[in-house]
Amino acid sequence: MRKLLFGLLLILTSAASAQKISNNKKAIIQSIEKHNAELIAISDSVWALAETAFNEKQSSVILADYAEKNGFSVERGVSGMPTAFIATYGSGKPVISILGEFDALPGISQKAQPTKEALNEGAAGHGCGHNLFGTASLGAAVAVKELMEEGKIKGTIKFFGTPAEEKYFGKVWMVRDGLWDDVDVNLSWHPADNTEADAQSTLALVDFKVEYFGQAAHASADPWNGRSASDALELYTTGINYYREHIKPTVRIHYHIQDGGQVVNVVPDYSKLWVRVRDTKRSGVIPVYERVQKMAEGAAVMANVDYKITLISGIYEVLVNRSGEEIMQKNLEYLGDITYTEEEQAFGKKIQENTQKPQIGMDSKISPLKETKEHPGGGSTDVGDVSWNVPNINLSVTVAPKDTPWHSWAVIACGGMSIGHKGMTYAAKALSMTAVDLFEDQKLIEKIKNEYKERKGDEVYEANIPPGPPPVGDNYE
């Protein structure tokens, strides 16, 4: 009897939740489902192209053309980036924007199967699910546009096509150019192994290049006539590694040696490495950045070589907006858990087996809204810079099995089949439903903006990039 009553209670609760969904939100969901086959085709095309930072030429065109086909006014090549664009529909306030990314990662090509096998040997792959990211966000924008077209809501919807998130952080140049200055609230999402309104920040970082210039000489006949740029590089990385003992636990330092000399019998006259410094706060990154620059100079002195430091780019941590995340959370609860077939669960478990993870399959549950940590772990994103210029609401949606290694073949495999497609469709619905809430209720926007101002405080945003245009065409190899 108790089980029967409990079951009836669940049915009534579910029915009550369904009644809370407005006609506008029902229309939004129907729009996403109507366009779903097109969105899957777009995502799969971007997945197969797998174009890397600032090289997303075909991917950008596919997305921008789809926006134009659906009645958006599209401005291409913004902020000096041929693959960046803005798609706009409507007029007046409020102005709500949605972010889309579409760049892939080099060298991790993979077929849409649960065993590791390159689709194209040595090619790139969407190991962060950006083929899903850009497509879902554009699908959400189109759904909102259709509601505007019917006169159900008023204002302006913008889709920002943002390139090079994985390497150069293209959004920073777009922010510096003021492209979000007229936006009231920004929406974003990211593929993940769970689904939640994302109330956690990310890590701020600075990327820079160090080059050493010495004197070449024969490594055996007259090494005393050489000044080794490779020695300087090794001294520098040794210094960084000793420094690790004396940095705060929130700090991360990475480096990638890009040129340490070409042959063994020559004292190398040139060396180069890419260095990245991270912390949970930009205020924590800057002192570490300044210190490791001094260490680069010290290594040059010890090796008796010249050196050069070049700033590549830097990004802020995400400024969380809990008022916005509460709105997103309600829409996730409306939508409910993602459901998977037995075949999809088996696919996920096989990936977990092949990446040495517990074989628990897909995490289909909606996570509760978590408390915001002061010092989160994890990665970095140029969405952070957007969030310091306009209030941002962020979402994570399951597109791969639990504990899947990110930036790996396993994510690519899921992004090219139904597991990724389901996450993409779900994200499009959640983003567009949240946009509807904002268009319908100015008080929600005011609440979000008030929290944004309070959290930002006296911080004056400063784009941490070199003067001039972005490094399009320069791969810093």
User: Which domains, from first to last, does the chain contain?
Assistant: 20-200+318-456 (3.40.630.10), 204-315 (3.30.70.360)
Q: Which amino acid is at 120?
A: N
For residue range 287-298, list pLDDT tens digits in order.
999 999 999 999
Tell me what pLDDT residue 474 has. Answer: 67
474 versus 35: the higher-pLDDT residue is: 35
State what percent of residues in the chain have pLDDT above 90. 93
Q: How far apart are CA 146 and CA 71, in angstroms?
A: 9
Taking residues 224-229, what's their average pLDDT? 97
For residue range 180-209, list pLDDT tens digits in order.
999 999 999 999 999 999 999 999 999 999
pTM above 0.85, yes or no: yes
Tell me what pLDDT residue 75 has. Answer: 98
* Contact yes or no for 434/187 (Cβ under 8 A): yes
In this model, does residue 475 exceed pLDDT 70?
no
Exposure on the CB side of residue 398, measured as CA atoms within 13 A: 26
Compute how many other C-beta atoms are within 10 angstroms of the C-beta atom of residue 188.
24
Indicate the pLDDT class of residue 422, thresholds 50, 70 and 90: very high
Residue 278 phi, psi (nearest 5): -130, 155
State what percent of residues in the chain have pLDDT above 70. 95
Tell me what pLDDT residue 21 has. Answer: 86
Tell me what pLDDT residue 18 has. Answer: 46
Cα–Cα–Cα angle for 224, 227, 232, rounded to 5 degrees: 130
In this model, does residue 19 exceed pLDDT 90?
no
Q: Counting beta carbons within 10 angstroms of the beta carbon of residue 21, is it exposed (0 to 12), middle (13 to 18) or buried (19 or more)?
A: middle
For residue range 440-455, list pLDDT tens digits in order.
999 999 999 999 999 9
3-state secondary structure the chain: CHHHHHHHHHHHHHHHHHHCCCHHHHHHHHHHHHCHHHHHHHHHHHHHHCCCCCCCHHHHHHHHHHHHHCCCEEEECHHHCCCCEEEEEECCCCEEEEEEECCCECCCCCCCCCCCCCCCCCCCECCCCHHHHHHHHHHHHHHHHHHHHCCCCCCEEEEEEECCCCCCCCHHHHHHCCCCCCCCEEEEEEEECCEEECCCCCCEEEEEEEEEECECEECCCCHHHCECHHHHHHHHHHHHHHHHHHCCCCCEEEEEEEECCCCCCEECCEEEEEEEEEECCHHHHHHHHHHHHHHHHHHHHHHCCEEEEEEEEEECCCCCCHHHHHHHHHHHHHHCCCCCCHHHHHHHHHHHHHCCCCCCCCCCCECCCCCCCCCCCCCCCCHHHHHCCCCEEEEEEECCCCCCCCCCHHHHHHHCCHHHHHHHHHHHHHHHHHHHHHHHCHHHHHHHHHHHHHHHCCCCCCCECCCCCCCCCCCCC
Taking residues 315-320, what's their average pLDDT? 98
Tell me what pLDDT residue 249 has. Answer: 96
Structure tokens at 422: 């389901």
**Beta-sheet pairing, 85-90 with 204-213:** unpaired
Compute how many other C-beta atoms are within 10 angstroms of the C-beta atom of residue 458.
4
Q: How far apart are CA 3 and CA 286, in angstroms?
A: 59
Report the chain's mean pLDDT, rounded to a whole number.
94
In this model, does residue 227 exceed pLDDT 90?
yes
Q: Which residues contact 321 (CB under 8 A, 6 or more apart)?
A: 387, 391, 392, 393, 448, 451, 452, 455
Residue 325 phi, psi (nearest 5): -65, -30
Q: How far apart are CA 395 and CA 188, in angstroms?
A: 6
Tell me what pLDDT residue 186 has. Answer: 98
Q: How far apart are CA 172 and CA 79, in angstroms?
A: 10
Compute how many other C-beta atoms are within 10 angstroms of the C-beta atom of residue 467.
6
Indicate the pLDDT class of residue 20, thresholds 50, 70 and 90: confident
* Contact yes or no for 419/47 (Cβ under 8 A): no
Taking residues 38-47, what's their average pLDDT? 98
In this model, does residue 390 exceed pLDDT 60?
yes
| Minimum mean pLDDT range among 16-20, 104-108, 238-242, 259-263 | 16-20
